[in-house]
Amino acid sequence: MIVMKFGGSSVASAKAIERVASIVGARRELHPVVVVSAMGKTTNKLLEIAKRASLGDRDGAMTLLYELRDFHLAESGMERTVEEHFQELADMARGLAALGELTPRSIDAVSSLGERLSSLIVTKLFERLGIPATHVDARKVIVTDNRHTHAAPIYEETYKRLAATIPPLAEKTVVVMGGFIGATEDGVTSTLGRGGSDFTASIVGAGIGATEIQIWTDVDGMLTCDPTVLPGGHRVRRISFAEAAELAYFGAKVLHPATVLPAIEQNIPVRILNSMRPEVEGTWITAQDVPSKNVIKSIACKKRVTVLNVHSTRMFMAHGFLRRIFEIFDREGTSVDMISTSEVSVSLTMDDDSHLDAIIEALSEFAEVTVDRDQAIVCLVGQNIKDTPGIGARIFRALEKINVRMVSQGASSLNLGFVVRGEDLRPAVEALHTEFFSTLDPEVFDA
């Protein structure tokens, strides 16, 4: 069995789903299990409906609801199924309008409708196109805790249900299920967080002992640089799980960072493929290290990063300085990407500044705080970094005309990152790409 996950752009219309059906049909002998995201930008629209309803804009919410309903009707022709789901959404919108509050549990209930509906539509269209298909409600097999909007799977029970449910069905038909969604042990709908359909695919693959997990998207695979920053990067043919996870954490959008975890544990290879160009071999991600003649495998970026500089002479030589800082970030539910320290100063980066004011206020009780906005993280990833002398010299030679701050080597020794001004991001990436990818190992990269 293989798991094939298709993102929102791959199932955005009836025509797109026909293309997916062709891809799946060509792999019938591998007993595929198909995991799908919501169609197109459905999740964003569902969340906007919920937001408007909770703020009392009932008319605005219903207008968006009808637009979204009409889109699904036009693309699927499944009037009864679509109407049932949007009646459920209308009831929830009315409830939110009356309550005037949007809770994490209600967010999950609303946002789950996209995957619930798309998986039913894909199943029905597969059958119309001659592919025997069976729909499985992900909420029956993906069991999570009750941390709504970012629930974590309860693996033992989830794997037990997957193993009992999926393989017998996959022997005879193509199994189709929605990604991103699950349910608590009490049966309450939950979600795994944005981008969680990749995570679902990996969980399902681990639970059924799949031979391969395929993530079908709209790019040819992982590239040597972010195409939205610098077009013209090279496709990475093979990369290790560890390297892929570092890239995902530091901004590579093609893979959800948590995706690799269940696959790593079960030693199941993951492949990134392009549903628009299925003939391209994509990127293989494996548990084993992937030797390369190139020092760097890829350059990841994070845009619109905020740098916080915390300085306190009162804490000179005093223990507990870092503890106090991170207690504040923990209390505000905000994560840190990079950190640079001295005896009396700490600089750190954050890409979520929604709690910035509260963090600054708390830090100011014992330190001076300055903020630099619109910064960017550039992260070079590759397993050869730790054993190759002179990497720093090459980086700073390439960036001699760019101001670099906050240099940091990850604890894994697989990455070397630094911060530049947002306006310097493209020239920095371009200079580094020229420096490290002027020649390519053909076993690892597609020229």
Backbone angles phi, psi at 77, to 5 degrees: 70, 10
CATH numbers and ranges of domains, the chain: 2-218 (3.40.1160.10), 298-446 (3.30.2130.10)
Q: What is the mean pLDDT of residues 46-55?
A: 97
Tell me how far apart the alpha carbons of residues 143 and 188 are, in angstroms, rounded to a whole number: 10
How far is the C-alpha of 422 from the C-alpha of 420, rounded, in Å? 6
At residue 318, the pLDDT reads 64
**Alpha-carbon Rg of the chain, whole angstroms?**
23
pLDDT tens per residue across span 226-236? 989 999 899 99
**DSSP secondary structure letter of residue 24:** H
Q: Assess whether pLDDT exceeds 80 at residue 319.
A: no
Indicate the SS3 state at residue 394. Answer: helix
pLDDT (mean) for 317-330:
84
pLDDT digits (tens, 9 = 90+) for 372-422: 999 999 999 999 998 889 988 999 999 999 999 888 876 668 889 999 999
3-state secondary structure of 14: helix
Residue 217 pLDDT > 70: yes
The per-residue pLDDT for 189 is 98
Q: What is the mean pLDDT of residues 124-133?
A: 97
Task: Note the pLDDT of residue 127.
Answer: 96
- 281 and 220 Cβ atoms separated by less than 8 Å: no
The DSSP call for residue 234 is P
Of the candidates 168, 173, 181, the residue with the CA atom closest to the CA atom of residue 141: 181
Question: Chain-wide mean pLDDT for the chain?
Answer: 93
Answer yes or no: is pLDDT of 168 > 60: yes
- Residue reference for tokens 């020794």: 413
pLDDT at 316: 56
Strand 415-421, strand 405-409: pairing: antiparallel
pLDDT tier at 194 (50, 70, 90 boundaries)? Answer: low
Q: Residue 57: is its pLDDT beyond 90?
A: yes
